[in-house]
Amino acid sequence: MSNSSIISNLGPEDLIVMMLVFIITSCSIRFGLKRKLHNDWNKNLLKKERLSLNSPLDRHYFRHMIMARTLTLPLFIATLVASWYGGIFGVTEISYNTGIYCFLTQGIFWYISYIIFALFVVKTISKYAPYTFPDMIHELFGKRSSYLSSIFNFFNVLPIAYTLSLGLLIHTIFGLNLYLSTIIGSFCIITYTIKGGMLADVYSDLIHFIVMCSSVLLVVVFAYYYLGDFSTLHQKLPSHYFTLQSDQSISSIFMWLFIALSTLVNPSFYQKCFATNSYKITRTGIFISIIIWMIFDCCTVLGGMYAKLYYDSLYSSGEYFSSINAHSSMYLIMALDILPPGLKGFFIAGILATIISTLDSNLLISSNTLCFDIIDKRYRSIRLQRISIILVALLAICLSFIFNGSVKQVWKHIGSLTSGSLTVPVFFGLIHPHILKDNQFIITVLSSFVLMLVLPFFLNIEKIFIGILTGIIFTIIFILVNKLNSK
């Protein structure tokens, strides 16, 4: 099936199912927006709040950015799982090309970072009352460090990969131009994100969580039935698909390990934690989420491998397939060929849920970073906050065009620069607040960033290795200097 015929392949049952999912999601958002959070403000204030709730603007931020700290355990798990897994085409692209290597780099490495976060970070951040990640950096290092980190994390959480993923989905289904598809999809998300803030995000994620997990499981079940069991995969796919290293280099493997550690400096992950009122809820929710992510990753990795098997069978039979990026969209093509009527629509709704749940969350957080952390507080306003959502969406769309359909390349380049610059000093600061002075943090981060940009032109080495090593060296030097000066 070519991408131009996908929409015609959907029956009325599929359209009805998709509409039902949309209606249920809309009802969930409306229910969330009607919650009277102001009744919970006093009891959900932590011991040390950075803002007063006396003014309408402060109350707006308290509700809009951290849901008045009323995020319960079930909602925390649902929104964390859903909003942290938007790059499904990136994962299936990697598993399509490399097999179970994908489970190592996009699964196990990330579980390690989640465990580190739960064990070493959660209790530390609970001592403060931050509204955003840069707000927390202000507590750990200083005002100038906070401003610098806000710039880095604006690009870290800028939803480039997810606007691209949504564009790929619309392009593959309707046959529209990729760039037009990306623009249409992104502006649909803007409509409810502007009004609802984190409440709309969380309550839409509740439905997205259920639909996305069910849909990827359905694909594996039907692929197993129609394309063959797991032994068929082993027989027909290249042998390197079943080794953890695959055909990739050792340096590539370790690159993904360090990219996974970007969890420690990712504002999206922190923002969900800031919205709870107890570190016990946060820690328990992360551990439960890891189990769910494991199941989800098994389904997406197997789905990507089945997509490769499916593509090979089309190629050998002489059928023609045309797409801007077959590696990214073959998973979708395969699923819509093997699923029965009704479930095709449910699957498309699941893929949409997977992408949108991360796109709207990152869109919200990056706009908050712009209007709350970067722009001077004298100019803060509700109107500016809403305008910033539109500006962030436009920037993400423009930057997504640079990567020409590859979500993997977005992760590799943007993730390397941001996590390579911030991970080491931030982690040390979380373990021991004020271990670096304000200027020392800035020097460490900027040195790592500049060397990651320059040295790859002269050395054949992944930029993230340069950033992590530079961060370790500068951090250790400054720690020793501070200890000598304190004597």
Within 10 angstroms of residue 437's Cβ, the number of other Cβ atoms is 15
* Residue 434, domain member (yes or no): no
404 Rama class: left (phi>0) / alpha (psi -120 to 50) / beta: left
Q: What is the CA radius of gyration of the chain?
A: 22
pLDDT reported for residue 324: 43
Q: Is the pLDDT of residue 25 over 90?
A: no
Q: What is the mean pLDDT of residues 398-416?
A: 66
pLDDT reported for residue 3: 45
Q: What is the mean pLDDT of residues 22-45?
A: 71
* Residue 450, domain member (yes or no): no
* Residue 232, domain member (yes or no): yes
pLDDT reported for residue 59: 72
Q: Is the pLDDT of residue 2 over 60?
A: no
Nearest to 471 by CA among 434, 419, 421, 432: 421
| Cβ atoms of 303 and 142 closer than 8 Å | no
DSSP 269-314: HHHHHHTSS-HHHHHHHHHHHHHHHHHHHHHHHHHHHHHHHHHHHH
* Residue 482, domain member (yes or no): no
Within 10 angstroms of residue 46's Cβ, the number of other Cβ atoms is 15
Q: Which two tokens stand for residue 424?
A: 């080491």
* Residue 373, domain member (yes or no): yes
Q: In this predicted model, what pLDDT tens digit does every residue of 226-262 receive, in sequence order?
A: 998 888 898 899 888 998 888 788 888 888 888 888 8
| Domain of 94, in residue numbers | 3-405
The count of structural domains within the chain is 1
Q: In this predicted model, what pLDDT tens digit does every residue of 302-323 receive, in sequence order?
A: 999 999 998 888 765 555 454 4
Average pLDDT of the residues of the chain = 82
Q: Which two tokens stand for residue 161?
A: 């990969």
**Cβ-count burial 333-364 (b if 16+ within 10 Å, e if not):** bbbbbbbeeebbbbbbbbbbbbbbbbbbbbbb
CATH number at residue 221: 1.20.1730.10
End-to-end CA distance of the chain: 73
* Cα 423 from Cα 283, distance rounded (Å): 20
pLDDT level of residue 162 (50, 70, 90 thresholds): confident
Nearest to 233 by CA among 245, 244, 220: 220
pLDDT reported for residue 100: 92
* Residue 68, domain member (yes or no): yes
* Residue 479, domain member (yes or no): no
* Residue 401, domain member (yes or no): yes
pLDDT reported for residue 278: 83
pTM for the model: 0.84
User: Using CB atoms within 10 A of its CB, is residue 72 exposed (0-12), middle (13-18) or buried (19+)?
Assistant: middle
3-state secondary structure of 71: coil
pLDDT reported for residue 4: 47
Residue 459, CB-side half-sphere exposure with 13 Å CA sphere: 11
pLDDT level of residue 456 (50, 70, 90 thresholds): confident
pLDDT reported for residue 32: 78
pLDDT reported for residue 407: 56
More confident residue, 61 or 332: 332
